[in-house]
Amino acid sequence: MNTTNADPAELQKFSELAHRWWDPTSEFKPLHEINPLRLDWIDSCATLSGKKVLDVGCGGGILSESMAARGAHVTGLDLSEKALGVARLHLFESGRKVDYQLSSAEAYAAEHAATFDVVTCMEMLEHVPDPASTIAACARMVKPGGDVFFSTLNRNLKAYLFAIVGAEYVLKLLPRGTHEYAKFIKPSELARHCRNAGLSTQELIGMSYNPLTKVYSLGTDTDVNYLIHARRPA
């Protein structure tokens, strides 16, 4: 397993913006807008209430906190100290409970094998040098029979046009340089990494943004953003 699986430039990018994490009009606006959709989907697949959940690459805690609000006992991992600082501070405001830890998935997995009912790793794989290593670490930390969720960006011309040209240059939904095309991951590659890690893919769904209505929705179009639900066999 790759224990140095982090890109310092990526971590710095998120650290520099961390103070704006909970501003719903900031660079993190898309995460705020997609959160209710992914939260409902995860909850419908894995019933979060009462579950022990690990959120890998949790950042400022948008998903972590919302899963805690659904009754999950959430641990959030990230390697950006600043993002975790913001996440911890926000707990005072929200009154929710999340255990935030400064760690990579790989380092945490070394001490927490088969510990969590649910592992989520959203919008993070496209920011690490070796996504297969992160996926293997997530698979190691979920209990047999438990659920793992990943979301990332597909790699094709449409994804390049929508996620980089459209989102970063035309609509300015994200700062320029947020995403690097070469790090995008095809669903077949993600499914293969899951298989190699001993996970079986249960569902693949797409997430689309309509620039006219400015609304995100889940559906069958996996061309740009997509989410995978996988399970570790019991």
Ligand X SMILES: C[S@@+](CC[C@H](N)C(=O)[O-])C[C@H]1O[C@@H](n2cnc3c(N)ncnc32)[C@H](O)[C@@H]1O
141 is in an annotated binding site: no
- Closest distance to ligand X from the beta carbon of 15 (Å): 7
Distance CA 75, CA 87 (A): 12
- Closest distance to ligand X from the beta carbon of 10 (Å): 5
**Helix (H/G/I), strand (E/B), else coil: 131:** helix
Provide CB contacts within 8 A for 9, sequence distance 6+. Answer: none
38 is in an annotated binding site: yes
For Cα atoms 191, 232, 57, give the angle at the middle one, nearest 5 degrees.
Answer: 70
Nearer to ligand X, 3 or 188 (CB): 3
Nearer to ligand X, 128 or 136 (CB): 128
Nearer to ligand X, 117 or 123 (CB): 123
Residues at the contact surface with ligand X, assessed by CB under 6 A:
5-6, 10-11, 14, 31, 57-59, 62-63, 77-80, 83, 104, 122-124, 127-128
Nearer to ligand X, 51 or 127 (CB): 127
Nearer to ligand X, 41 or 234 (CB): 41
Exposure string (b/e) for 76-99, b if CB count within 10 Å is 16 or more?
bbbbbebbbbbbeebbeeeebebe
- Closest distance to ligand X from the beta carbon of 233 (Å): 26
78 is in an annotated binding site: yes
- Closest distance to ligand X from the beta carbon of 30 (Å): 9
For residues 208 and 131, the answer to whether their CB atoms sit within 8 Å is no
Q: How far is CA 173 from CA 157, 158, 198, 234, in A?
A: 19, 17, 36, 41
- Closest distance to ligand X from the beta carbon of 78 (Å): 4
Distance CA 38, CA 3 (A): 28
Locate 138 and state its tokens: 């997530």
Which residues belong to the annotated binding site for S-adenosyl-L-methionine? 38, 57, 78, 122
Which residues belong to the annotated binding site? 38, 57, 78, 122
